[in-house]
Chain A
Amino acid sequence: MSPEPDCARIDAELARVRGHFIGTLENRILDLDALVTHCRAAEDPYLGFEAIARQAHKIAGLAPTLGFQDLGRDAREVELAAGRITPARPAHGRAAVLAQVEKLLDRMEAVLNTSWH
């Protein structure tokens, strides 16, 4: 059995992945922001909410493992909320879901800002 790699190396490797994730946050924020604008204005925002759910799903699947538990939790809540929007009633509950997305965006910006300091 090969020896367990030393903790410093593991931490460095994970820090690199974490850094890559943080590096993607700016684009994710821009994408989500654009989707929020669309969903706010569109008569039929269903596809927009579907796209929001997919984006949130990706964040929720990554963030906790990289040490961002709160971000992962917020993303999961957005994924669930946006996923409840149906084609039959695409505007039902729109405001509440968008408020949750805004909260997620705030969290993402906070993570990004913290990483710059």
Chain B
Amino acid sequence: MSNLKILVVDDEPVFLELMAHMLARAGYREVEFAQSAEEALEAIDRPLARFDCFLLDIQMDGMNGVELCTRIRAMQPYARTPIVMITAMTEKHYVDAAFLAGANDFVNKPIDLREVRARMGMVEAILSERSQLSMVSSQLVDTEAVVGARVSFDSATILEDCDFLAPASRLEAHLLRQGTLRLLSSVAVGVHVENARALHDRAPGLPFADLMAEVGYAIREAISGGDRILSYFGRGDFCALLPQATPFDRQEVEAAIELKLAQIPGLAFDGPGMMPVVKVGAPKRNGLRLLGDTTWMLYAAMADARGEDRAAKKEAIAHVA
């Protein structure tokens, strides 16, 4: 039996009963319910309220679930609390919006117990990992250099606090939930910081994380227009997911990123040798791989940016969910 505190929000009372039943069968009994976004916000605002997870219906009268997700994410205690959206197949146009609003995952209506268990298992895994990371950090000597030195070169989570980047795990989850047509209309573009290892070795930890954040911001500004989602995968690898129709020229984007980085005062640590050197890969689509691993295009895009001859395998890029 889990003691996770869950808030379920849906404007259909019978559905809330059903969720109570499903969650109880999955081992969750500390569950509260709200029949509207407004009621949910009141529950969250209660002085001693502290929820570990939110399950939000998308379509509700008044404030919808996507807007509610945005509001919850804006609250400091819940900036990273797992949020699972409850969606129907007819709501695919809301899925992107929910994802951009900060949702972690989705459960489909009509619900079944197996999927509820799987999604809650994901929630438990996220919370467990964060709890372990928090314990490790709190045991370290509290100096920025020491804490920063623990930021691994491989880690994809060093930029989790950047609100203009989506966590790598969320980008993967988003692709895994896309339907065929949406996948066909999306492309992935990889951006690699060629001297990331040298930059990290010279100034590891938080200075490296800050530098990658500046690079990420420059990439985001350079790839303008349309709904683009950008994530950091560790080791100087970024990946952007774009609508296929977005106008895109690799060389222009590279030049734009370089220009933006050059304009940041004090960015180069000790001369031009330490300025991030960025390579943009060719756009990649899943194509015939739709029936296989739908995240293939992300790794192929990043491999292309690294100039690798063969497509990268997922195992080559370690990331923390």
Interface of A toward B, CB cutoff 8 Å: 2, 5, 10, 13-14, 17, 20-21, 24, 54, 57-58, 60-66, 72, 76, 79-80, 83
Chain B: residues with Cβ within 8 Å of the partner, total of: 19
Give residues of chain B (3-38) contacting chain A, Cβ–Cβ below 8 Å. 12, 14-15, 17-18, 21, 24-25, 27
The reply to whether B88 and A60 contact each other, CB–CB distance below 8 Å, is yes
Grouping DSSP codes into helix (H, G, I), strand (E, B) and loop, the A interface class, with mixed when no group exceeds half, is helix
The reply to whether B25 and A62 contact each other, CB–CB distance below 8 Å, is no
Question: Which residues of the other chain, A, contact B59 by a CB distance below 8 angstroms?
Answer: 54, 57
Interface of B toward A, CB cutoff 8 Å: 1, 12, 14-15, 17-18, 21, 24-25, 27, 59, 61, 88-90, 109-112
Closest to A80 in B: B90
Question: Which residues of the other chain, A, contact B27 by a CB distance below 8 angstroms?
Answer: 2
* A45-B109 Cα distance, complex, nearest whole Å: 28
The reply to whether A79 and B110 contact each other, CB–CB distance below 8 Å, is no
The reply to whether A60 and B25 contact each other, CB–CB distance below 8 Å, is no
CB-CB under 8 A for A60 and B110, given A14-B21, A83-B90: yes
Question: Which residues of the other chain, B, contact A83 by a CB distance below 8 angstroms?
Answer: 90
Question: Which residues of the other chain, B, contact A72 by a CB distance below 8 angstroms?
Answer: 110
CB-CB under 8 A for A65 and B110, given A5-B25, A10-B25: yes
* A80-B88 Cα distance, complex, nearest whole Å: 11
The reply to whether A61 and B15 contact each other, CB–CB distance below 8 Å, is yes
The reply to whether B14 and A17 contact each other, CB–CB distance below 8 Å, is yes
* A60-B109 Cα distance, complex, nearest whole Å: 8
From A20, A54, A63, B17 is in contact (CB under 8 Å) with A20
Question: Which residues of the other chain, A, contact B109 by a CB distance below 8 angstroms?
Answer: 60-62
* A24-B25 Cα distance, complex, nearest whole Å: 24
Closest to B10 in A: A61
The reply to whether B1 and A62 contact each other, CB–CB distance below 8 Å, is no
The reply to whether B12 and A62 contact each other, CB–CB distance below 8 Å, is yes
* A5-B26 Cα distance, complex, nearest whole Å: 10
The reply to whether B14 and A62 contact each other, CB–CB distance below 8 Å, is yes
* A80-B91 Cα distance, complex, nearest whole Å: 10
The reply to whether B90 and A62 contact each other, CB–CB distance below 8 Å, is no
* A51-B21 Cα distance, complex, nearest whole Å: 28
